[in-house]
Every structure is written in structure tokens, then in C-alpha cells.
Amino acid sequence: MEVLYGLHPVEEALRSGSRRLDHISVARERESRRDPRLEAVLDLARAEGIRIASEPREQLTRHCRTDAHQGIAAFLRERKLLSPEDLLAQPSPAGGAGHRFFLALDGVEDPRNLGALLRSADGAGIDGVLLPERRSAPLSAVACKASAGASEHIRIAQAVNITRALETMKKHNIWIVGLDERGAKEYTAFDFRQDICLVLGREGAGLHDLVKRTCDHLLRIPMAGSVRSLNVSVAGAVVMYEAMRQRRGDRQPDNPPTPPPSQAAKPRKGLGS
């Protein structure tokens, strides 16, 4: 049985209907406060006929293996991930001029980074996320909590060999675009209005060499400070939202507003005035 904790993740699991919930447990101390947010989630559960149990907060902490559960946890049947072929079988979306946009993670090992990337992917309209079977953070309760419930809505596939999966995508006319600090082109100069799979690498180490050689393009994010790169979840969000901006046809206004005239500077008093 899988445990999902936190108000947002449990609520989104109920709303998505993608997985079967066995029951929900609520901390007695939290339940007695009559919290409107908690009551709204429990009303959803009751409407779905899901059993609600009440237990001490310490017991809930033992189930979740953390005290950051916000007084609620859902117990679900184990999630079955999709295959790379399942992602490719999905019809092209109507948005983005019919172009598909996937995200592949080449060895992201921090579950919080995984959750943050799933949250950004859902917000940016990603059509599916590809994870390697090994050397990757699991889709755990920590990752789901960090995704704020987005993990319950986005299509997630798992590949035994991510390089082979990317090669299969290339055969389906999908451009493989990796993010690398030594990339030949800045991400804002790339045209994302085509079928694309964005590939992000490991924390600190980046893309594996074989994955890097599989990429059709390597992009970089320019850095103005002393640090050479961004956290992988931040970098992924930056590029995904640039892609969404391009695919939605956003542009600068033709007639930008004129800034208000600056007021004349007041005469400054000298020292001792």
C-alpha cells in the first residue's frame, strides 16, 4: 500500500480519480480544529465513498515517516507507471499547434527535485514525463508532496534504458533537446514550436555522456553571476516555461506603455543644513 500525505496531494488524488484510494487517515488533533481546508478534502472523500479513519498524530507520523503530513494521509494501491510506447501512442495535443512536448529526466535523484519538476511540467503543459528505471528518485510520498498534487495528473512513463527510449522518440520525429551548461545555443534562441523531448541531467553532474550524444541539440542557460548553473528543478522550469511561451504565440506588445515622466529631482541639502 502506498502512502500519500499532505492536503494538496490527497486532494488532487481524489480529484484526478487516476488511482484507487483504500482509505484516508486524519490526525485526531487536526480533525478537532474544524479546519475548512481539511473539511473540504474530507467532503470530497465522503462523496467518493472512501472510508475515513481517525488516529493519533504520532501514528500518522509513523505511517508517513515524517511529521510534515499536515494531519492527513491517503492509502492507495500501488501506481503502475506507463511505458515509453504509451507516451508516444497519446494523440498530439490540440494546444501548441499540435506539437508534442515531453520531459525526460536522466538520473534526477532528489525526490524534492523530482516533485518540483513534475509540478512545473504540469503547469507548462508537458504531455508526459519519462523516468529511468534505475538511478532515479522514486515516485515516493516525498516527491508527490513536493509536486503539490501534480504527480496525480501528469502522465509518467518508466524506461529500462532511457537512451534507447530517446532513440525510439527520434524515430517518431521528436527532437531530443538536452540542457547542458556547455550547450552550443542559449535556450531562448531555440525554436520550441515542434515535437520535442527536453532532457535534464543529474544534480551536479548533468547528462550522462551517452544521453548527451543522443541529443540532437544541447542548450544552455546564460549565467551572469559566479555560479555556473542552476538547480535542476529551477533550470527545468525556466526552459519549460520559455517553450510554453513560444508555443502559445506570446510576444511583446506592439505598443508598449510609455513610462510616466520622471519628476524633477528635489535639490539636495548639503551637510550641516
Q: Where in the chain is the domain with CATH 3.40.1280.10?
A: 84-247
At residue 92, the pLDDT reads 62
- Give 29's pLDDT tier (boundaries 50, 70, 90): confident
Using one digit for the tens of pLDDT, what is the confidence trace for 85-134?
Answer: 999 997 765 444 478 999 999 989 999 999 999 999 999 999 999 999 98
Distance CA 182, CA 151 (A): 31
| Residue type present at position 114 | L
Out of 8-12, 14-18, 101-105, give the one with best mean pLDDT: 101-105
Question: Where does the pLDDT of residue 32 fall: very low under 50, low under 70, confident under 90, or very high at 90 and above?
Answer: low
Going by C-alpha positions, the residue among 168, 176, 118, 106 that lies closest to residue 142 is 118
**What CATH number labels 2-76?**
3.30.1330.30
Instruction: Give pLDDT, residue 115.
Output: 94
The count of residues in the chain is 273
With a cut of 60, say whether residue 255 has pLDDT above it.
no
pLDDT tens digits, 134-183: 888 888 888 888 888 788 889 999 999 999 999 999 999 999 999 998 89
Q: ∠ at Cα 154 (152, 156), nearest 5°?
A: 100
User: Does residue 271 carry a pLDDT above 70?
Assistant: no
pTM recorded for the entire structure: 0.74
Q: In the chain, which residues fall in CATH 3.30.1330.30?
A: 2-76
pLDDT class of 254 with cuts at 50, 70, 90: very low
| 161, three cell numbers | 534504458
Most confident of 13-22, 26-35, 56-65, 153-162: 153-162
Per the prediction, the chain carries an average pLDDT of 85
Torsion of Cα atoms, 124 then 92 then 198 then 116, to 10°:
30
Residue 10: Cβ within 10 Å count: 29
Predicted local confidence at residue 272, as pLDDT: 42
Burial class (CB in 10 A: 0-12, 13-18, 19+), 102: buried
- pLDDT tens by residue, 176-214: 999 998 898 999 999 999 999 999 999 888 899 999 999
Which top CATH class is 84-247? Answer: alpha beta
Do the strands 2-5 and 72-76 form a parallel or antiparallel pair, or are they unpaired? Answer: antiparallel
Question: What pLDDT sits at residue 5?
Answer: 86
Report the distance separating Cα 214 and Cα 77, nearest Å. Answer: 36
Amino acid at 235: A
Backbone angles phi, psi at 196, to 5 degrees: -140, 145
% of the chain exceeding 90 in pLDDT = 44
For 177, half-sphere exposure in the C-beta direction (CA atoms, 13 angstrom radius) is 27
What CA–CA distance (Å, rounded) separates 53 from 253? 54
Q: Residue 114: name the closest of 202, 46, 197 by CA.
A: 202
The better pLDDT of the pair 260, 238 is held by 238
* pLDDT given at position 268: 45
d(CA 102, CA 79) in angstroms, rounded, equals: 20
More confident residue, 254 or 160: 160
pLDDT score, position 127: 94
Helix (H, G, I), strand (E, B) or coil at 267: coil
Q: Given strand 128-132, what is the order of strands in its sheet?
A: 156-159, 128-132, 101-105, 196-200, 175-179, 217-220, 185-186
What Å distances lie between residue 37 and 34, 44, 265, CA to CA?
Answer: 9, 11, 51
pLDDT mean over 56-64: 89
Could you tell me what percent of the chain has a pLDDT over 70? 87
Helices (H) and strands (E) in the chain, counts: 10, 11
